[in-house]
């Protein structure tokens, strides 16, 4: 059964050299690890990528992140490339180094991107994590067993760094099935670099289709291997098409942010439909269960990626069980995590990394030029690519998506001293400028009329948990866009006729050119939208996808059409 967390590295320090207790092997040879890694890994990459053209991208995939030195060395060298050229650095690590040990080691090396790496370095959550080291350097860090991670990776790789423990110590990282997955994910002319010169490694690479070559090794090591996928290599284009985003709520703003971060501009259209984004305070909380299924691991990863977004406030969240059964479930979930992440309470659980998002702070930070225009037809747009990040919209969201409207109401009242989010029969947010938001109600209609009885219900419910002054009440209503399984709809629009003829999402081969969905976030847009927006933009630009193949199938716009066909 899958778990939310992977086991961290067990390290024994011998003088200043780390040794893995699990594998009984060194992380690098004694002496200068930087010189060794520069010769073995960085030189083949820089030989391949000498003068990349403007608006291009290069993808490196490393097996064995360790202490991050290959990543930081490569990022440092990439600073000499044009700023419009993006480095996608993918790294897979089964046993991540604890952040405290990582920080202790890296603080003496003075890499220019160390601070960014440490700021974004995630807890040992299983799966994919995005860390931006610079506007043109994107780290996709994957904590998982290597063959599983590669099987779920959606990327085209230009250069591989094989930097795991020695084949004799860690056989799983040097097997033929792994090399075949590498070959399938390599672009023509892609390079493979490794310190190993073992005959089994060379033969495994060759049988998978690579052409190998022995080169002088580092220091006392006589030889090392490089390999090449047949074909002529050229840098991949990046960000040369125009983009329009429909919807200026949370999802639309995060799509705009993802493009802007890469130096790309987009036309952002406000569809005029008020969704939950209009509410001043919005919950950021992962959806979890006792079984770490894909949907819950996705939600956990999304709640991690939102943490450095403008407008996010890490206040913590106290979830008070509404029933005895829910209280027991919350305690059982908390047992799956260390107390510094989720802590059991007598009445539920406290989520230390949870909090809330201010939509107005996010919008003000991004300062997009929003085009106020109601759009009913995509034919009216001339952009090469269109991202539908709208809320509930009958004219733009096709029936195949099975998105429905659920109305919600929230209020803002006077409070004092509320420090963290309280979640139970209502959600009560921390005091900001003497006020707190209380939400929310659920009703299967798309009316935006404020209902006095719902306002009174929210006030009465909140009074069970906090003190408040209801002499002045500001109400909001919003229409949530909710899919049939309550998960977002994310990805490129399929050719609907072709989708009806396949038995699984991964078999779809025909798509609508230039049309992408990032919608149906229900009441979890503040938690999920940023990672989903990053995924849509990464796919649109041909980068390593922010979501793995398994997560993509889970959120696919075609999933309901295929499920209904198989019933």
Q: Splitting the chain (567 residues) into consecutive groups of 10 residues, what average pLDDT does each group show?
A: 89 82 76 84 92 94 96 96 95 96 90 97 98 98 97 98 81 89 98 91 96 83 89 94 94 97 93 71 98 98 98 98 97 97 98 98 92 84 94 93 95 97 97 96 87 95 94 92 98 95 93 97 98 99 98 98 87
- 47: tokens are 């030989």
Q: What is the pLDDT at residue 360?
A: 94
CATH class of 239-312+356-404+480-567: alpha beta
β-pairing, 385-388 vs 243-246, is: parallel
Query: pLDDT at position 197, please?
Result: 83
Checking DSSP bridges between strand 243-246 and strand 282-284, what pairing results, if any?
A: unpaired
- Looking at the whole model, is its pTM more than 0.85? yes
Counting Cβ atoms within 10 Å, is residue 41 exposed (0-12), middle (13-18) or buried (19+)? buried
Residues of the chain with CATH 3.50.50.60: 239-312+356-404+480-567
Whole-angstrom distance, CA of residue 503 vs CA of residue 168: 42
Pair 95, 169: CB distance under 8 Å:
no
Q: What is the pLDDT at residue 273?
A: 60
Residue 301: what pLDDT? 98
Check: CB of residue 319 under 8 Å from CB of residue 362.
no
Q: Which residues of 320-350 are buried (b: 16+ CB within 10 A; e: fewer)?
A: bbeeeeebebbbebbebbeeebbebeeebbb
Q: Which residues contact 557 (CB under 8 A, 6 or more apart)?
A: 400, 401, 489, 490, 491, 492, 493, 494, 517
Where does 308-397 have alpha helices with state H?
A: 324-334, 359-366
Q: What is the model's pLDDT at position 13?
A: 84
- Beta carbons within 10 angstroms of residue 465's beta carbon: 17
pLDDT of residue 429: 98
Chain centroid to Cα 503, Å, comes to: 27
CATH of region 11-236, choose from 3.40.50.150, 3.80.30.20, 2.50.20.10, 3.30.230.10:
3.40.50.150
Instruction: Look up residue 41 and give its DSSP letter.
Output: I
Q: What is the rounded distance in angstroms from the CA atom of residue 463 to the CA atom of residue 415?
A: 11
Where in the chain is CATH 3.40.50.150? 11-236
């Amino acid at each position: 059964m899958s778990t939310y967390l992977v086991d961290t590295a067990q390290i024994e320090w011998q003088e200043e050299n780390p040794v893995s207790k699990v594998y009984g092997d060194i992380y690098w040879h004694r002496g200068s690890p930087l010189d060794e890694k520069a010769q073995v890994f960085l030189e083949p990459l820089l030989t391949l990528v000498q003068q990349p053209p403007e608006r291009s991208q290069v993808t490196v995939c490393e097996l064995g992140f360790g202490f991050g030195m290959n990543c930081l060395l490569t990022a440092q060298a990439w600073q000499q490339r044009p700023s419009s050229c993006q480095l996608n650095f993918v790294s897979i690590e089964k046993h991540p180094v604890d952040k405290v040990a990582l920080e202790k080691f890296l603080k003496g090396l003075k890499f220019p991107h160390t601070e960014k790496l440490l700021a974004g370095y995630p807890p040992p959550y299983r799966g994919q994590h995005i860390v931006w080291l610079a506007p043109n350097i994107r780290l996709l860090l994957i904590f998982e067993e290597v063959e599983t991670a590669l099987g779920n990776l959606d990327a085209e790789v230009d250069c591989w760094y094989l930097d795991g423990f020695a084949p004799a110590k860690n056989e799983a990282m040097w097997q033929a099935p792994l090399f075949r997955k590498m070959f399938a994910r390599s672009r023509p002319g892609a390079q493979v670099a490794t310190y190993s010169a073992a005959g089994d490694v060379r033969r495994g690479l060759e049988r998978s289709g690579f052409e190998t070559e022995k080169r002088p090794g580092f220091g006392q090591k006589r030889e090392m291997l490089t390999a090449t996928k047949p074909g002529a290599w050229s840098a991949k284009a990046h960000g040369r098409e125009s983009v329009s985003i429909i919807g200026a709520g949370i999802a639309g703003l995060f799509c705009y942010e993802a493009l802007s971060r890469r130096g790309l501009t987009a036309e952002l259209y406000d569809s005029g439909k008020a969704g939950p984004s209009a509410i001043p305070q919005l919950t950021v909380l992962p959806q979890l269960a006792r079984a770490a299924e894909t949907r819950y691991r996705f939600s956990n990863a999304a709640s991690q990626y939102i943490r450095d977004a403008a407008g996010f406030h890490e206040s913590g969240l106290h979830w008070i069980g509404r029933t005895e059964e829910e209280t027991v479930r919350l305690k059982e979930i908390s047992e799956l995590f260390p107390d510094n992440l989720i802590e059991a309470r007598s009445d539920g659980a406290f989520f230390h990394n949870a909090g809330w998002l201010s939509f107005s702070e996010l919008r003000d930070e991004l300062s997009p030029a929003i085009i106020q225009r109601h759009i009913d037809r995509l034919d009216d747009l001339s952009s090469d690519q269109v991202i539908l990040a709208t809320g509930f919209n009958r004219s733009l969201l096709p029936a195949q998506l099975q998105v429905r409207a659920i109305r919600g109401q929230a209020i803002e009242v006077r409070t004092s001293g509320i420090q963290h989010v309280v979640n139970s029969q209502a959600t009560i947010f921390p005091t900001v400028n003497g006020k707190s938001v209380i939400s929310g109600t659920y009703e299967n209609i798309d009316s935006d009329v404020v209902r006095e009885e719902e306002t009174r219900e929210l006030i009465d419910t909140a009074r069970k948990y906090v003190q408040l002054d209801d002499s002045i009440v500001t109400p909001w209503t919003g229409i949530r866009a909710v899919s049939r399984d309550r998960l977002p709809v994310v990805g490129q629009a399929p050719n609907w006729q072709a989708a009806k003829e396949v038995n699984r999402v991964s078999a779809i081969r025909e798509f609508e050119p230039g049309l992408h969905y990032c919608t149906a976030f229900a009441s979890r847009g503040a938690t999920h939208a940023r990672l989903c927006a990053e995924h849509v933009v990464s796919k649109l630009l041909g980068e390593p996808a922010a979501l793995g193949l398994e997560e993509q199938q889970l959120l696919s716009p075609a999933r309901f059409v295929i499920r209904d066909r198989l019933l």
